Structure 1
Amino acid sequence: MTLPIATLLATIALVTGVSLALPALTRPTTPFGVLVPHAYVADPEVIGQRRVYTRLVLLAALCAAAAGVPLVAAGRGAGFISGVGVVLGVADLALYVRAGRRVRAAKRDGGWQEGLRQRVAVDTTFRTDPVRVPWAWALPALVITLVTAGVGWWRYGSLSALPSFQGYGVDPAAPARALTPWAASEPVLIQTGITLLVPVVTLLVLRARPDLDAARPAGSARRYRVYLRGVARLTLAGAACLNLGLLVTSLQLWQLVPPSLVWRIATYVPLVALLVAWVVREIRVGHAGHRLPALPGEDTEDTGATQRDDDRHWFLGGTVYLNRHDTALLVPARIGATWTLNLGHPVTWAVLAALVLLGLLALTRVIDLPRRESLF
Structure 2
Amino acid sequence: MTPVVATVTTVVLVGCVALITPALARPTLPFGVRVPDDRAADPAVIAQRRSYVRLVLLAMVLFGALAAAFGGLWPAAFGATCLALYYRAHRKVRAAKRTGQWYAGRRQGVTVHTSFRSDPVACPGPGSCPRSRSPSPPRRSACGATTPCPPRWRPCTGSGADPARRAPTSAFTAFEPVLLQAVVTVAFPALTLVLLRARPDLDAARPAGSARRYRVYLRGMARLSLLGAACVNFSLFIAALRLWEVFALGTAAAVLPLAALVLGPLAWEWRAGQGGHRLPRLPGEEKEDSGLVQRDDDRHWHLAGTVYANRHDPAVVLHARFGQSWTLNLGHPVAWAVVAALATLVLLALTGIIDLPERHGLF
Whole-Å Cα distance in 2 between the matches of residues 232 and 172 of structure 1? 37
Whole-Å Cα distance in 2 between the matches of residues 59 and 375 of structure 1? 38
* Counterpart residue number, 1:365: 352
Query: What's the C-alpha RMSD, in Å, of the aligned pairs?
Result: 2.3
Residue 281 of structure 1: CA displacement? 1.6
* Counterpart residue number, 1:172: 161
- Give the direction of change, closer, same or farther, for the CA distance of 1:47–1:325 in structure 2 (3 Å limit): same
- Give the direction of change, closer, same or farther, for the CA distance of 1:11–1:248 in structure 2 (3 Å limit): farther
* Counterpart residue number, 1:156: 138
- Higher mean C-alpha deviation, range 41-50 or range 6-15: 6-15
- Give the direction of change, closer, same or farther, for the CA distance of 1:373–1:305 in structure 2 (3 Å limit): farther
1:207 aligns with 2:197: yes
Whole-Å Cα distance in 2 between the matches of residues 160 and 115 of structure 1? 70
2:281 to 276, 294, 308: 294
* Counterpart residue number, 2:300: 313
* Counterpart residue number, 1:29: 28
- For 1:87-102, list aligned pairs within 5 A: 87-102=77-92
- For 1:60-99, list aligned pairs within 5 A: 60-72=59-71, 80=72, 83-99=73-89
Whole-Å Cα distance in 2 between the matches of residues 329 and 21 of structure 1? 28
Deviation by residue 1:202-243 (Cα, 9 ceiling, x = unmatched): 111111111110111111111111111111111111111222
- Higher mean C-alpha deviation, range 334-343 or range 243-252: 243-252
Whole-Å Cα distance in 1 between the matches of residues 142 and 329 of structure 2? 46
1:244 aligns with 2:234: yes
TM-score by length of 1: 0.86
- Give the direction of change, closer, same or farther, for the CA distance of 1:233–1:161 in structure 2 (3 Å limit): closer
Q: What secondary structure is seen at the aligned counterpart in 1 of 2:288?
A: coil
Whole-Å Cα distance in 1 between the matches of residues 95 and 166 of structure 2? 57
Residue 320 of structure 1: CA displacement? 1.2
- Give the direction of change, closer, same or farther, for the CA distance of 1:27–1:160 in structure 2 (3 Å limit): closer
- Give the direction of change, closer, same or farther, for the CA distance of 1:373–1:356 in structure 2 (3 Å limit): farther
* Counterpart residue number, 2:188: 198
Residue 97 of structure 1: CA displacement? 1.4
Are 1:32 and 1:99, in contact at CA under 8 Å, matched by a contact in 2?
yes
TM-score by length of 2: 0.89
Q: What secondary structure is seen at the aligned counterpart in 2 of 1:299?
A: helix
Are 1:287 and 1:335, in contact at CA under 8 Å, matched by a contact in 2?
no
* Counterpart residue number, 1:107: 97
Q: What secondary structure is seen at the aligned counterpart in 2 of 1:115?
A: coil
Runs (5+) with no aligned partner, structure 1: 73-79
* Counterpart residue number, 1:76: none
Residue 161 of structure 1: CA displacement? 4.2
- Higher mean C-alpha deviation, range 86-95 or range 248-257: 248-257
Whole-Å Cα distance in 1 between the matches of residues 233 and 170 of structure 2? 22
Residue 252 of structure 1: CA displacement? 3.2
- Give the direction of change, closer, same or farther, for the CA distance of 1:137–1:86 in structure 2 (3 Å limit): farther
- One-letter identity of the residue aligned with 1:322: A
* Counterpart residue number, 2:329: 342
Whole-Å Cα distance in 2 between the matches of residues 306 and 375 of structure 1? 51
- One-letter identity of the residue aligned with 2:79: G
Deviation by residue 1:100-145 (Cα, 9 ceiling, x = unmatched): 1111011000111111101011111110011100034643x21xx2
Whole-Å Cα distance in 1 between the matches of residues 362 and 20 of structure 2? 26
Residue 4 of structure 1: CA displacement? 2.2
Q: What secondary structure is seen at the aligned counterpart in 2 of 1:162?
A: coil
Whole-Å Cα distance in 1 between the matches of residues 361 and 109 of structure 2? 46
Residue 98 of structure 1: CA displacement? 1.2
Deviation by residue 1:267-324 (Cα, 9 ceiling, x = unmatched): 3322223312211221111111111111121101111110111111112221211111
1:59 aligns with 2:55: no
Are 1:19 and 1:92, in contact at CA under 8 Å, matched by a contact in 2?
yes
Q: What secondary structure is seen at the aligned counterpart in 1 of 2:318?
A: strand
* Counterpart residue number, 1:269: 256
- One-letter identity of the residue aligned with 1:163: G
Q: What secondary structure is seen at the aligned counterpart in 2 of 1:349?
A: helix
Whole-Å Cα distance in 2 between the matches of residues 60 and 192 of structure 1? 42
* Counterpart residue number, 2:119: 129
* Counterpart residue number, 2:154: none
Whole-Å Cα distance in 1 between the matches of residues 259 and 238 of structure 2? 15
Whole-Å Cα distance in 1 between the matches of residues 314 and 43 of structure 2? 36
Are 2:28 and 2:35, in contact at CA under 8 Å, matched by a contact in 1?
yes
| Paired residue total | 350
- Higher mean C-alpha deviation, range 52-61 or range 212-221: 52-61
* Counterpart residue number, 1:6: 5
Whole-Å Cα distance in 1 between the matches of residues 2 and 12 of structure 2? 15
Whole-Å Cα distance in 2 between the matches of residues 374 and 11 of structure 1? 22
Are 2:239 and 2:362, in contact at CA under 8 Å, matched by a contact in 1?
no
Deviation by residue 1:131-163 (Cα, 9 ceiling, x = unmatched): 100034643x21xx22x2xx2x2x422x35413
Deviation by residue 1:80-104 (Cα, 9 ceiling, x = unmatched): 4xx4433322221221111111110
Identity %: 52
Whole-Å Cα distance in 2 between the matches of residues 173 and 115 of structure 1? 70
* Counterpart residue number, 1:77: none
Residue 256 of structure 1: CA displacement? 4.1
- One-letter identity of the residue aligned with 1:68: A
Q: What secondary structure is seen at the aligned counterpart in 1 of 2:293?
A: strand
